[in-house]
């Protein structure tokens, strides 16, 4: 029996705009409104807005919430400043990834966790399971919050002038609450595009109002299509592709978000520390092709005639005019500048191992 598809609070507006809609993570989501290239370039060069209301939100409060969140999360939130935002993962004991997420410190022992839409049920179950031993309260607020991502070099201008949100003072990876139409909303200087930008969490009514204001101001609506090309070009992972239950942050070369020396440790720390010390068997790398053929998720990567890995994400870059990919390969095969092959349909194409940041990020720090 097919599960019922969910809709975000802006669904009717996407349909009215003529967006190409497709199921993603259980939601009927806009892939593109105009075309991916136009929307991608709007974010790189000006500003675009994404409906990311499908994302999940979990609130963790209670006397032991800092201790608890630090135990299930790879980054270190101990003693953080109010409004600080952290990127990191929740791991299984074997180091495999439950999800990657943002943790917002909203108050003393008050944390706001933003998780991937596809993982909401799994994550909430996982968090609750771990929470049994702690004096904390875990609330799944995913149905309450809608979310907009306003991204691009002109995002601050739109946030301040169009939405009248007093957020110009926010620095990269910080957040604050604001009063908006009688409700408390959360605004952070974060995103998933490699550009300066903001994310806003608010009720469905407020999200609808802000969306309408941005449309009236001529801001380009952007779909999940360019969300993926934008994050890919700047080397950001997507859960399901670059991070999975079988791919640890060490394998994904995201160890910098794992604090191995924090007191109390975190679930999965021993497994990851071992991988880091010994070198994981597999490693995520960037690949660049000289040909125009495009490597796609799941295609084989070879060294000579031996399969050494597979493509996790691949595109013809938009800001970078090259065929590029992330691939999970045997560690030895993943040395920088190594020459590998990618099987694309019936042919194989040479590919060079390169750094995963294909395009330079332009965050406002």
Residues that bind another protein (CB under 8 A): 20, 31-32, 35-37, 225, 228-229, 292-294, 296, 315-316, 318, 323, 344-345
Toward another protein, which CB reaches closer, 32 or 142?
A: 32
Toward another protein, which CB reaches closer, 23 or 264?
A: 23
Closest distance between another protein and the C-beta of residue 38, in Å?
9
Q: How many CB atoms neighbour CB 130 within 10 A?
A: 17
The rounded radius of gyration (Å) of the Cα atoms in the chain is 20
Closest distance between another protein and the C-beta of residue 319, in Å?
12
Q: What one-character DSSP code corresponds to residue 243?
A: B
Toward another protein, which CB reaches closer, 290 or 292?
A: 292
Toward another protein, which CB reaches closer, 72 or 351?
A: 351
Distances (CA, A) of 203 to 30, 53, 274: 20, 10, 43
Q: Report residue 332: phi and psi, to 5°.
A: -65, -35
Toward another protein, which CB reaches closer, 28 or 110?
A: 28
Closest distance between another protein and the C-beta of residue 225, in Å?
5
DSSP one-letter string for 129-178 = HHHTTSS-EEEE-TTT-EEEEEESTTHHHIIIIIS----TTPPTTBEEEE
Q: Determine contact, residues 247/309, Cβ cutoff 8 Å.
A: no
Closest distance between another protein and the C-beta of residue 315, in Å?
7
Q: How many CB atoms neighbour CB 115 within 10 A?
A: 25
> Rounded to whole angstroms, how far apart are CA atoms 144 and 261?
36
Toward another protein, which CB reaches closer, 296 or 331?
A: 296
SS3 content of the chain, % helix, strand, coil (to 5): 25, 35, 40
CA–chain centroid gap for 110, Å, is 22
Toward another protein, which CB reaches closer, 67 or 316?
A: 316
Closest distance between another protein and the C-beta of residue 323, in Å?
8
Closest distance between another protein and the C-beta of residue 74, in Å?
31
> Rounded to whole angstroms, how far apart are CA atoms 199 and 83?
13
Closest distance between another protein and the C-beta of residue 231, in Å?
14
């Amino acid at each position: 029996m097919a599960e019922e598809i969910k809709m975000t609070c802006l669904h009717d507006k996407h349909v009215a705009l003529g967006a190409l809609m497709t199921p993603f993570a259980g939601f009927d989501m806009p892939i593109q409104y105009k075309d991916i290239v136009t929307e991608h370039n709007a974010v790189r060069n000006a500003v675009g807005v994404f409906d990311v209301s499908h994302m999940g939100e979990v609130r963790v409060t209670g006397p032991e919430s800092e201790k608890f969140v630090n135990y299930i999360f790879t980054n270190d939130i101990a003693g953080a400043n109010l409004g600080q935002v952290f990127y990191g993962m929740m791991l299984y004991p074997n180091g495999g990834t439950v999800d990657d997420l943002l943790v917002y410190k909203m108050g003393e022992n008050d944390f706001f966790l933003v998780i991937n839409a596809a993982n909401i049920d799994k994550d909430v179950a996982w968090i609750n399971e771990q929470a049994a031993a702690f004096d904390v309260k875990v609330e799944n607020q995913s149905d309450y919050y809608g979310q907009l991502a306003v991204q691009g070099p002109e995002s601050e201008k739109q946030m301040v002038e169009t939405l009248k949100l007093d957020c110009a003072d926010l620095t990269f990876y910080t957040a604050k609450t604001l009063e908006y139409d009688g409700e408390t909303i959360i605004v952070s200087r974060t995103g998933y595009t490699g550009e300066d930008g903001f994310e806003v969490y608010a009720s469905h009514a407020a999200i609808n109002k802000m969306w309408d204001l941005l449309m009236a101001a001529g801001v380009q609506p952007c779909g999940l299509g360019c969300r993926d090309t934008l994050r890919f070009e700047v080397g950001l992972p997507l859960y399901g592709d670059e991070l999975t239950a079988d791919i640890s942050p060490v394998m994904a070369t995201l160890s910098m978000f794992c604090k191995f020396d924090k007191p109390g440790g975190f679930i999965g720390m021993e497994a990851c520390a071992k991988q880091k010390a010994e070198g994981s068997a597999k490693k995520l790398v960037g690949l660049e092709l000289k040909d125009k053929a495009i490597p796609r998720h799941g295609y084989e990567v070879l060294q000579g005639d031996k399969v050494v890995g597979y493509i996790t994400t691949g595109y013809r870059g938009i800001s970078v005019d090259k065929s590029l990919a992330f691939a999970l390969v045997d560690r030895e095969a993943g040395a920088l500048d190594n020459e590998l092959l990618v099987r694309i349909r019936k042919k194989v194409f040479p590919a060079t191992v390169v750094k995963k940041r294909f395009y330079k990020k332009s965050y406002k720090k």
